[in-house]
Structure 1
Amino acid sequence: MSATAETPRTQGSTTPVLRVMQSLGTPRPTTNPYNKMLDEALGRTDGIEHLRFTWAGALFGRYDAFHWHWPEVKLHGSTWWKSVVLSMLTILLFLRHALSRRIAVVRTVHNIELPDDNAARLWILRRIDAHTDYRIVLNTTTALPEGTPHSLILHGHYRDWYAPYPHAERVPGRLSTFGGIRRYKGMETFIDAYRTAVELEPTLTIRGGGRPTTPELGAELSARAADLPGVTLHLDFLSDAELVEVVTSAELTVLAYRFMHNSGSVLAALSLDRPVLVPRNAANAALAAEVGAEWVIMYDDELDGAQLLEAWRAAARLQGRPDLSRREWGDAGSAHAAAFREAVRVKRSG
């Protein structure tokens, strides 16, 4: 018998196999490594049939659970009219899920704040969130309303992912930053702090990379750093090999985010055995307690030159590796399968 949302097929004679569609499509070369590793983990997990996203499959296919990651991504196209079409399709998908009595909607809480977007898109995102049946949180500090059905599945490390690429020799005084460049990630704050710090410590340099969300943001950052010594910015997508070279050539990775909750960039740097400088908050304090406080250096308020210098001096003395033993990918697939099964139980018992 074929698998349907109404009658899940079984393995053997007793174990139901759930059909679960991700909101993530087939991985591409530029896909976030977290997405790729989750895709691989789910693909080899018993008890679920892992379905990659397509609009036809999402709107008309048969599945037991739908798993959202960053739903805002579905609302944006390369032109205004494509964005309108995508928003309409997302509304149809939301309506299908909201009206179904069988399909469980699961959402991984990557971010706790809504993105900066227009009112229409924010309305859609709020509707999706309000009709989510089950949540997966990536750290112990994610606040949910009391009684919210959820599972904790820690964000896995990237050690295995980056293992094929050679590490660079550390360059004394080198600072790095990387990842998709958005306003809230505060690269301009980092550059301004560096301006002060390099006057006191001329051996400092910056190596940074990542694609800005807009050409205007890229031009602004280039202009901001134009008169500074030792700053090299590659304002475009970094391949895995390039990312490894940028991070491992530095003594400290600086992520001067205005707000941070779950950061793949933090775990990428730690996976490459480099300490990170991040804003002080509950999530980063919990991570520091887990992996070693010397690896997660925190600053208060807005990053300035004095805090940057202090963090670099501490990082330059650091040896060894952070403890990422709680973030192995081996159990990620089975942990997600258990969450999907519980989500379906919650949905169908309601």
Structure 2
Amino acid sequence: MSRRLRVMQAFKAPRATTNPYIVMLDEALGSADGLEHLRFSWGSAIFGRYDAIHFHWPEAKFGGASRLRAMGKRFLFAALLARLTCSRVAIVRTMHNIELPQGMPRCELAMIRRLDRLTTLRIALNPTTPIPADAASETILHGHYRDWYASYPQPPALQGRLGYVGLIRRYKGVELLLQAFAEARASDDALSLSVSGKPSSTELTATITELAGAGVELDLRFLSDAELVAAVSRSELVVLPYRFMHNSGGTLAALSLDRPVLIPENDTNRALSAEVGAGWVHQYAGDLDGATLRRTMDEVRRLARADRPDLSARDWDAVGAQHVRAFRRAVAIRRGRSYTGSARSVAPVRKQA
């Protein structure tokens, strides 16, 4: 029997404001067989004993309330890189984002790039994530939110209600949605639109408020989980018109609450549509317009679909076990041993070096 792996996660004990993905992963890893689940501290990371370390958003290790604290974080990250360079610890990274973060100081970006070069194995959250051609990787699908939202009341959908739910940023295309909705409502005044979430700037708040016309309800603030569940559940169709979409927690949240979605057409979303079953993931090409909203609402009402989307591949017990196998493979690679297991058979898209 294989010994338990000691794996440090690059996050601390979850708090009330922690990303739900991290909270659910923390719980899944804490109960996974074959794993000693360690949470992050700088002292343990730099001086402790463990087999692998697992990063999600390494840029979150920087920053601070003062210049002195920011400099201290850089020093600690540099010390951690030195320890990882000189040891046999495997480095695993979950690729939440495709691009490097923007607006970081050069020295911090240099350390992120150094971590990239040291990384032993990358975890992709969907099979279309581009991975360097010479990099070891596994695909482990983002777990669902069904258990996370199970304790909250779920009201019935309102007929004709379109909904957008989530933080509002420029790239998420809420302005385009409001313009497309105005076109759709001009032909069907039974349609309504709810936009719920906090905009990223006062300028964006002003733009959205100005574009909101007849039939639009705005709730421009941060939503609690119970409020998010209610907003999604009241929607007959959830519309997420992101200008760029790769790993969308909003899409998965809507599907976890058994609501169909309208999202941009791309390889990632085509794969998701095939996974969850017909009638749940509707896609559009090009710019969103009123005709697309009306056509999709008609499809939602007319086309048959299962009672719930199939999210069985995203059960958290399976996600935890797949992570353990990925960690074990990373440790074997780092120590020059062969490993025949796999976290998941689907391979991410390979990017040419």
TM-score range, shorter chain: 0.7 to 0.9
Query: Which whole-Å CA distance do the structure 1 matches of 2:244 and 2:293 have between them?
Result: 18
Alignment TM-score, normalising by the size of structure 2: 0.87
Confirm or deny that 1:109 pairs with 2:95.
Answer: yes
The 3 A distance-change label for structure 1 pair 101 and 60 is closer
What code does the residue aligned with 2:51 have? D
Structure 1 residue matching 2:122: 3-state secondary structure: strand
**Any idea what the Cα deviations from partners look like across 1:194-244, whole Å, max 9, x if unmatched?**
22222222222222222333344334333332xx12322322222111111
Aligned AA (2:99): E
Question: Which residue number in structure 1 is paired with residue 4 of structure 2?
Answer: 17
Superposition deviation, residue 172 in structure 1: 1.2
Separation in structure 2 between the aligned mates of residue 50 and residue 190 of structure 1, nearest angstrom: 43
Give the alignment's Cα RMSD to 1 decimal: 2.2
Partners of 1:200 and 1:82 in 2: CA distance: 57
Is the CA contact 2:52–2:92 (under 8 Å) kept in the aligned structure 1? yes
Aligned equivalent of 1:210: 197
Residue-by-residue CA offset, 1:76-134 (whole Å, 9 max, x unaligned): 4456665555445434433332x233111100112222233245244333332222110
Q: Which runs of 5+ in 1 are unaligned?
A: 1-13
Q: Does 1:290 align with 2:268?
A: no
**1:263-342 alignment, distance < 5 Å:** 263-317=248-302, 320-342=307-329
Q: Equivalents in 1 of 2:45, 2:197: separation in Å?
A: 31
CA distance in 1, matches of 2:18, 2:128: 27
1:261 lines up with 2:246 in the alignment: yes
Q: Secondary structure at the match of 1:176?
A: strand
Percent identity over the alignment?
A: 51
Asked whether the equivalents of residues 196 and 218 of structure 2 are also in contact (C-alpha less than 8 Å), the reply is yes
- Consecutive unaligned residues of structure 2, counting only runs of 5 or more, are 338-353
Please tell me the residue identity of whatever aligns with 1:341. Answer: R
The residue type paired with residue 273 of structure 1 is D
Residue type at the aligned position of 2:224: S
Query: Match for residue 221 of structure 2?
Result: 236
Equivalences for 1:1-350 in 2 at 5 Å? 15-77=2-64, 83=70, 85-97=72-84, 99-118=85-104, 120=106, 121-225=108-212, 228-317=213-302, 320-349=307-336
Q: 2:244 and 2:169 mapped to 1: Cα distance?
A: 12
Look up the equivalent residue of 1:305 and give its one-letter code. G
- Amino acid across the alignment from 1:218: T
Aligned twin of 1:3: none
CA contact 1:101–1:348 (8 Å) conserved in 2: no
1:6 is matched with which residue? none
Which whole-Å deviations, capped at 9, do the CAs of 1:289-344 have from their partners, x for residues lacking one?
11124211111122222222222222244652212122211222121111111111
Question: What CA distance in whole angstroms lies between the structure 1 residues aligned with 2:32 and 2:125?
Answer: 19
- Structure 1 contact 175–206 (Cα < 8 Å) conserved: yes
In structure 2, the CA distance between the partners of 1:198 and 1:77, relative to structure 1 (3 Å rule), is: farther
Task: Please state whether the residue corresponding to 1:301 is helix, strand or coil.
Answer: coil
